């Protein structure tokens, strides 16, 4: 992804994360999904068309465009769902497929581009897409708030800050170790929040069982 597009993708992750947390309503997040999703599609078309004039590096351009389209279609799909109050299971299954594509793009960054930083960033997005799959396609609603926080954190750690640093020419100065550590911490926070929701969910069940035992004594 280009640095400018990457930075603006952060705004959509932030709004969608806040939507999952209940801070903003679904229809309030729809416009930014349309704006950024449409902009990414236009960027892909212009980039791919310009690359047709040269065979050198054309495959790399197409691989980069794959990442653009993956997010573009996700955001446009979210916008249609939120504007029309549509069921989320279709979007959920798309996100399951997107998680597989993100795994592929992570491997491309590791192997073809030797880019450890964005390899791990794509792995972080694998977790995000997978979480949306579990919520929307499989109905695991207890993951909603942890996923909201994951999206909010990733809005800064995987998009806004890397994009801004690329724009200012300072991204290459950041060590791979720092980027990997940040992604690991963010995913760890997400897993802790997931574990806490499971504990919270179990507590009422235990209390209910204790009340039943008291009634039968």
What is the per-residue pLDDT across 133-188, written as a single tens digit (0 to 9) for each? 999 999 999 999 999 999 999 999 999 999 999 999 999 999 999 999 999 999 99
Q: Sign of the C-alpha dihedral, residues 184, 66, 37, 5?
A: positive
Percent of the chain residues topping a pLDDT of 90: 74
For residue 214, the model assigns a pLDDT of: 55
Q: Convert the pLDDT of each residue in 106-135 to its tens digit.
A: 999 999 999 999 999 999 999 999 999 999
Q: For residues 32 and 204, what is the distance between their CA atoms, to the nearest angstrom?
A: 38
For residue 64, the model assigns a pLDDT of: 82
Q: pLDDT-derived band of residue 74, with 50, 70 and 90 as boundaries?
A: very high
Q: What pTM does this model have?
A: 0.89
């Amino acid at each position: 992804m280009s640095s400018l597009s990457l930075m603006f993708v952060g705004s959509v992750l932030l709004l969608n994360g806040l939507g999952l947390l209940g801070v903003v309503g679904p229809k309030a997040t729809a416009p930014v999904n349309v704006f950024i999703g449409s902009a990414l599609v236009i960027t892909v078309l212009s980039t791919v068309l310009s690359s047709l004039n040269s065979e050198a590096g054309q495959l790399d351009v197409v691989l980069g465009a794959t990442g653009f389209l993956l997010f573009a279609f996700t955001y446009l799909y979210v916008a249609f769902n939120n504007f029309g109050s549509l069921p989320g299971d279709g979007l959920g299954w798309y996100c399951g497929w997107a998680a597989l594509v993100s795994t592929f793009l992570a491997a491309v960054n590791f192997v073809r581009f030797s880019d450890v930083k964005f390899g791990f960033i794509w792995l972080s997005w694998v977790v995000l897409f997978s979480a949306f799959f579990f919520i929307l396609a499989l109905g695991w609603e207890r993951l909603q708030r942890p996923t909201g926080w994951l999206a909010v954190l990733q809005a800064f750690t995987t998009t806004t800050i890397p994009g801004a640093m690329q724009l200012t020419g300072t991204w290459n100065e950041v060590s791979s170790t720092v980027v990997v550590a940040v992604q690991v911490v963010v995913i760890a926070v997400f897993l802790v929040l997931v574990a806490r929701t499971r504990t919270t969910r179990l507590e009422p069940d235990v209390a209910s069982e204790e009340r039943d035992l008291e009634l039968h004594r």
